[in-house]
């Protein structure tokens, strides 16, 4: 097992709009990227090193997942090159970006 990789991964519970911990909603931070997981489903990964956003099949699974996915793009997904992805905090924004295959110079794809 490569402990260097494990040392660089942090899992944090999301904070909701009221400032409380959001049950079963997680931000996974690692060198070179960030991910959002809702319950047991990976929803989004953002690979900062390769400038790729990957949307996973359960991205629109439930009202709760949608709410926190939108919050992820509003509050957590911004990077050292100052790229922001607030437009991905809506279903329409995600669908449009997926159709184009890019957003703000980053590749976006469906897994």
Q: Note down the domain range covering 7.
A: 3-110
Averaged pLDDT for residues 6-22: 89
User: Quick check: 6 pLDDT over 70?
Assistant: no
- Greater confidence (50 vs 77) lies with 50
Averaged pLDDT for residues 41-52: 93
Give the residue among 62, 109, 26, 87 at the shortest CA–CA distance from 35: 26
User: In sequence order, which ranges of the chain are alpha helices (DSSP H)?
Assistant: 3-7, 63-71, 91-100
User: Quick check: 58 pLDDT over 90?
Assistant: yes
Provide, rounded to the nearest whole percent, the portion of the chain with pLDDT above 70: 89
Q: Into how many domains does the chain fold? A: 1
Mean residue pLDDT across the chain: 89
């Amino acid at each position: 097992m490569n402990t260097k990789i494990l040392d660089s991964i942090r899992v944090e519970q999301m904070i909701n709009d009221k400032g409380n911990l959001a049950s079963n909603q997680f931000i996974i931070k690692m060198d070179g990227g960030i991910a959002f997981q809702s319950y047991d489903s990976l929803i989004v990964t953002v690979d900062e090193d390769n400038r790729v956003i990957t949307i996973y099949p359960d991205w629109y699974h439930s009202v709760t997942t949608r709410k926190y996915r939108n919050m992820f793009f509003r509050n957590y997904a911004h990077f050292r090159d100052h790229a922001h992805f607030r437009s991905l905090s809506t279903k329409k924004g995600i669908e449009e970006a997926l159709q184009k295959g890019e957003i703000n110079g980053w590749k976006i794809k469906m897994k």
